[in-house]
C-alpha cells in the first residue's frame, strides 16, 4: 500500500501503520474483550479509591493526596493507551494518523514521567513520617503539599514539552511503527532526515529528570532503614508496614519502565513477539490495576473505609425490606 502523502508538505506521510497488530489478527475479538475489561477495571478501581479518600475526612492525609494523584495519572495514561489500542485492533488497516500518534507520544511520556515523580514524592512522605514523626504535620503542611502536587503535575508536562517540540518539527517519510502504540524513538525513525541529536537530547533529559528523583528515593529509604534499625522489633514492623504499598508500587513500575526503555533503545527481535507485546503494555496496565489494590487494601485506614462502603451498600436493601 502506498503511503498517504500530504499535498502541503511533499514527502510527508499522514498516517503510520502499527505493524504489531498483525500477529493479533486471529484473536482480535478476544483480545478486544480483554483490553475492554482491563480498561473498565482500571477506571472502576481508581475511581473507587479516589471516592473513598475524598468522602472520608479521616483519610485527608498527605500520603492519600499523593495516592489520589497516582490514581488520576493512571487513568490518564490508560485512557491515552487502551481506547486507541482497541480501535486499532478492530481496524482493517491498523493505521493511525500522524497527529494522533504524536499526541499519544506526549500523553504516554508525560504519564510515565509524572508516575515516577509522584512515587518519589511518596517516598519522601514516608521518610518524613518515619524519621520526623513529631514534625510530620508541620513539614508536610497544606502549603507544601500544594506545591508538591503542582510540581508533580506541571514539571513533567513542561520538561517533556521542550523535548517534544523537536519531534513536532520533523517531516515523516516512513510510515511503519512496530508497536501497539506510538513511542517517540519509533516515530523519529520515520523522519525524512537523520536526527541522531533527538536520541541524545532524550537521554540527557531522562538522566536530568530521573537522577534527582532516584537520589531522593534512595536517600529516603536509607534514612528509614537507619531509623528503623534503632527501633524495637514491634515498632519496626509498624513503621515498615506503612512503606510496603509504596515499595511494591515503585518496584512494579520500575520493572515495567525498564522493559519499555530497553525495547525502545535496543533491538529486541530475538524476543518472541507475544512477550514483547506484553512487556510493552506492562508499565501502564499492571501498575494501574495493582496500585489501587495495594493502597486500597494494603493501607489499613483506607481498607476499613472501603469495606464499610461495600458493607453499607450491601446491607441497605435488607434494611429497606425490614422497614417495609
Rounded distance, CA 210 to CA 204, Å?
10
pTM tops 0.85: yes
Name the burial class of residue 157, with classes exposed (0-12), middle (13-18) and buried (19+) by CB atoms within 10 angstroms of its CB.
Answer: middle
Residues in the chain: 324
All three cell numbers of 19, joined, read 505493524
How close are the terminal C-alpha atoms of the chain, in Å? 69
Question: How far is it, in rounded angstroms, from Cα 260 to Cα 270?
Answer: 16
Please give the domain boundaries of the chain with CATH numbers for all domains.
Answer: 15-299 (1.20.1070.10)
What cell numbers appear for 176 in the block? 511503519
Give φ, ψ of 227 to 5 degrees.
Answer: -70, -45
DSSP code at position 140: T
Please give the chain's pLDDT, 324 residues, in tens: 444 444 444 457 889 999 889 888 888 899 999 999 999 999 999 999 999 898 888 888 898 999 999 999 999 999 999 999 999 999 988 999 999 999 999 999 999 999 999 999 999 999 998 888 889 989 999 999 999 999 999 988 888 888 888 888 888 999 899 889 998 888 998 998 888 888 888 888 888 888 999 999 999 999 988 888 777 666 666 777 778 888 899 999 988 888 887 877 677 777 777 788 888 889 899 999 999 998 887 777 777 777 777 776 555 444 433 434
Strands 15-18 and 176-177: parallel
Q: What is the largest CA-CA distance in the chain?
A: 76
DSSP-derived secondary structure letter, 172:
B
Q: Could you tell me which residues come within 8 angstroms of residue 177 by beta carbon, excluding any fewer than 6 positions away?
A: 16, 17, 18, 19, 101, 183, 186, 187, 190
Contact, 88 vs 21, CB < 8 A? yes
Q: Is 222 helix (H, G, I), strand (E, B) or coil?
A: helix
Amino acid at each position: 500500500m502506498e503511503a498517504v502523502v500530504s499535498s502541503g508538505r511533499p514527502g510527508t506521510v499522514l498516517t503510520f501503520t502499527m505493524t504489531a497488530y498483525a500477529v493479533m489478527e486471529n484473536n482480535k475479538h478476544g483480545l478486544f474483550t480483554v483490553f475492554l475489561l482491563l480498561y473498565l477495571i482500571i477506571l472502576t478501581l481508581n475511581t473507587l479509591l479516589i471516592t473513598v479518600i475524598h468522602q472520608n475526612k479521616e483519610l485527608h492525609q498527605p500520603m492519600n493526596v499523593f495516592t489520589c494523584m497516582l490514581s488520576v495519572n493512571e487513568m490518564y495514561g490508560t485512557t491515552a493507551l487502551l481506547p486507541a489500542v482497541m480501535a486499532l485492533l478492530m481496524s482493517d488497516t491498523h493505521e493511525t494518523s500522524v497527529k494522533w500518534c504524536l499526541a499519544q507520544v506526549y500523553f504516554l511520556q508525560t504519564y510515565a514521567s509524572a508516575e515516577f515523580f509522584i512515587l518519589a514524592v511518596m517516598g519522601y512522605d514516608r521518610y518524613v513520617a518515619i524519621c520526623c514523626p513529631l514534625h510530620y504535620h508541620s513539614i508536610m503542611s497544606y502549603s507544601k503539599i500544594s506545591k508538591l502536587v503542582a510540581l508533580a503535575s506541571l514539571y513533567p508536562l513542561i520538561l517533556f514539552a521542550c523535548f517534544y517540540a523537536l519531534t513536532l518539527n520533523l517531516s515523516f517519510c516512513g510510515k511503519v511503527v512496530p508497536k501497539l502504540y506510538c513511542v517517540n524513538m519509533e516515530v523519529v525513525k520515520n523522519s525524512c532526515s537523520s536526527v541522531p541529536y533527538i536520541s541524545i537530547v532524550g537521554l540527557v533529559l531522562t538522566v536530568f529528570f530521573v537522577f534527582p528523583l532516584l537520589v531522593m528515593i534512595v536517600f529516603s529509604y536509607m534514612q528509614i532503614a537507619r531509623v528503623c534499625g534503632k527501633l524495637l522489633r514491634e515498632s519496626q514492623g509498624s513503621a515498615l508496614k506503612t512503606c510496603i504499598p509504596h515499595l511494591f508500587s515503585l518496584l512494579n513500575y520500575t520493572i515495567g519502565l525498564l522493559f519499555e526503555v530497553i525495547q525502545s533503545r535496543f533491538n529486541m527481535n530475538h524476543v518472541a513477539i507475544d512477550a514483547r507485546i506484553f512487556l510493552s503494555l506492562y508499565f501502564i496496565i499492571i501498575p494501574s490495576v495493582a496500585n489501587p489494590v495495594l493502597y486500597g487494601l494494603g493501607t489499613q485506614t483506607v481498607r476499613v473505609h472501603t469495606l464499610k462502603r461495600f458493607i453499607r451498600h450491601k446491607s441497605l436493601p435488607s434494611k429497606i425490606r425490614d422497614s417495609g
